Amino acid sequence: MLQLQTGSGPTHSNEFAASWDMIAHGTPSTKIIVGVLAVFSLVSWALIVWKMIQFRRIRREADRFIGEMERAERLDEAYRNVLALPESPFSRVFRRGVNFFSELRPGAARVGSEVRGLSPAQLEVLRLVLEKEEGEERDQLSHGVHWLAIIATVSPLFGLLGTVLGVMHSFVGVVQAGSSSISAVAPGVAEALITTAAGLVVAIPAAMAYNYFIARLNLVMGELEGFSSEFIGTLAREGRI
């Protein structure tokens, strides 16, 4: 039993060393493609860390914003509370809506003001302004995410390209050596498959992160759209439109 456990096969460190040895002594095309994939991997992980920090910060800012809005009894009080908060997508959309409404009806945002409401055309313009601000926030939040999709798509193709080139080189070497034994073919094929494995190692985390961040982005945008509708509803409830 002890013999079976100690002779169970190569360790992970030996496998890694063997893979690295094949890359180090591989063809120029293999080295170039693995190098490109290594750059892709560094870029994708940098993007993953950056977007993870960004979305966590936005979640904290959204919770603070919602808390301030819930504590405020009227819109003008909520506006004063929001001014003290750090910049966030929610505070920017809120301030943009209040400022544009004040431009349409100067003094209408103050308590006790008596001004005529907005016309249907002006109310529609207010909605468009809020939608435009939401679109700008979406563009800002999605910055960098599309690169994860590109890396997830291109990396397996680069790996496949390296495998095809490696297999071609291996077959040419077999013909030149005049031997068709498995021992002559196997090293070249194993080296060629390294690039496919490297492409998948790069692509899988990038694809998972892309889908995760898109889901988080859609969640934030859904909350922003809901807030914009609630903002207009608050204006109507307080008799400001």
Q: Is the pLDDT of residue 54 over 90?
A: yes
What is the tens place of the pLDDT at every residue in 113-136?
555 566 678 788 888 999 999 999
Residues 155, 159, 160, 165, Cα dihedral to 10°: 140
Who has greater pLDDT, 118 or 150?
A: 150
pLDDT of the residue at 23: 58
Q: Which residues contact 227 (CB under 8 A, 6 or more apart)?
A: 90, 93, 94
Lowest-pLDDT range, 72-86, 131-145, 176-190? 176-190
Q: Average per-residue pLDDT in the chain?
A: 79
What is the tens place of the pLDDT at every residue in 165-180?
877 766 666 555 555 5
Percent of the chain with pLDDT over 70: 73
pLDDT of the residue at 4: 42
Q: 203: buried, middle or exposed (CB in 10 Å: 19+, 13-18, 0-12)?
A: buried
Read off the DSSP letter of residue 1: -
Q: Which residues contact 71 (CB under 8 A, 6 or more apart)?
A: 81
Task: Copy the structure tokens of residue 192.
Answer: 């060629």
Percent of the chain with pLDDT over 90: 29
Q: Is the pLDDT of residue 212 over 70?
A: yes
Q: Is the pLDDT of residue 190 over 80?
A: no
Helical H runs in 1-119?
2-6, 12-24, 28-71, 75-83, 89-104
Q: Which residues contact 135 (CB under 8 A, 6 or more apart)?
A: none
Reported confidence tier of residue 1, pLDDT bands at 50, 70, 90: very low
Query: Which among 166, 229, 194, 170 is positioned nearest to 21, based on CA atoms?
Result: 194
Reported confidence tier of residue 149, pLDDT bands at 50, 70, 90: very high
Task: Copy the structure tokens of residue 16.
Answer: 């890694």
Gap between the Cα atoms of 26 and 22, Å rounded:
5
Mean pLDDT of 85-94: 87
pTM (2 decimals)?
A: 0.77
Task: Copy the structure tokens of residue 119.
Answer: 């016309």
**Pair 126, 104: CB distance under 8 Å:** yes
Q: 76: buried, middle or exposed (CB in 10 Å: 19+, 13-18, 0-12)?
A: middle
Query: Which among 210, 208, 213, 207 is positioned nearest to 56, based on CA atoms?
Result: 213
Domain spans of the chain, in order of start:
27-237
Who has greater pLDDT, 210 or 74?
A: 210
pLDDT of the residue at 2: 41
